[in-house]
Amino acid sequence: MVFIDIQHREITLKLVYYGPALSGKTTNLQQLHALMGDHAGTGLMTLNTRDDRTLFFDLLPLTMATGSGMSIKLKLFTVPGQVFHAATRRIVLQGADGVVFVADSRISETRANNESFADLKANLADNGIGWGDIAVAIQFNKRDLPGIRSDDDVRRIAAKGDEPVFTAIAIEGVGVAETFLGIAASTWQKLERRYELARRFGVGEDEFMAHLETSLRRPGDP
């Protein structure tokens, strides 16, 4: 859960991109990193196999200074999606404040999506994180491929649950920023209700989100 360091006036949030193998989790972080450029502090750390599969995790750390003198750190992680990395996924999920579930939109991947979603729930429970304790957003990625669920289908799925649902073509950067801003806002709201960040630290959702939106703007963009 959120790490609040009063002495150093620092709040650290952890967001985890979860989902089946090859759904595009690492691609989401790569695209965010490309959008953020210099804003993205120490840059994207990845640990891949030779064929570009995530071995342990990817990490993109961000830091922002707020008007009240608090520093907010955001740590974006991906889990390795391949089934045999189950233990690693559980460890990476520890202490998460928000999760983006990256699903592969292809109908052929329905089973892999469902199994990974069940795996997410089991690993949250193993880490003592209740479903209601954490912000979750769902991204239907790979909208450019044939054989995908229709937009209507995605809307129906979205209407069934409480989690915000986004569509994306991560490889082209489409929907990546929207998903990230969506999970960031949901996570902040969840933490605000629990820890009263605005009252205690003088940082509100508007300021937090404005920082993130600015950091996603490439130099030269209007």
119-158 binders of ligand GTP (CB under 6 A): 141-142, 144-145
Cβ proximity of 144 and 102 under 8 Å:
no
167 binds Mg ion (CB under 5 A): no
Nearer to Mg ion, 20 or 164 (CB): 20
Distance of alpha carbon 154 from alpha carbon 109, whole angstroms: 14
Nearest to ligand GTP by Cβ — which residue?
81
Choice from 23, 30, 31, 54 touching Mg ion (CB under 5 A):
54
Cβ proximity of 35 and 176 under 8 Å:
yes
Using CA atoms, how far residue 202 sits from 64, 135, 156, 170, in Å, is 14, 22, 39, 34
Nearer to ligand GTP, 56 or 195 (CB): 56
26 binds Mg ion (CB under 5 A): yes
Which of the 8 DSSP states describes residue 24? S
21 binds ligand GTP (CB under 6 A): yes
30 binds Mg ion (CB under 5 A): no
Burial class (CB in 10 A: 0-12, 13-18, 19+), 141: buried
Neighbour count for residue 126 (Cβ, 10 Å): 11
81 binds ligand GTP (CB under 6 A): yes
- DSSP H helical ranges for 16-163: 25-36, 86-93, 110-126, 151-160
Residues constituting the chain: 222
Q: Which does 23 bind (CB under 5 to 8 A by kind): Mg ion, ligand GTP, none?
A: ligand GTP
Q: Which does 213 bind (CB under 5 to 8 A by kind): ligand GTP, Mg ion, none?
A: none
82 binds ligand GTP (CB under 6 A): yes
Distance of alpha carbon 101 from alpha carbon 123, whole angstroms: 13
45-74 binders of ligand GTP (CB under 6 A): 52-54
Of 22-30, 69-77, 155-163, 173-181, which segment contacts Mg ion by CB under 5 A?
22-30
Q: At 186, list the tokens.
A: 């949901």
172-201 binders of Mg ion (CB under 5 A): none
Which stretches of the chain bind ligand GTP, using CB under 6 A? 19, 21-27, 52-54, 78, 80-82, 141-142, 144-145, 169-171
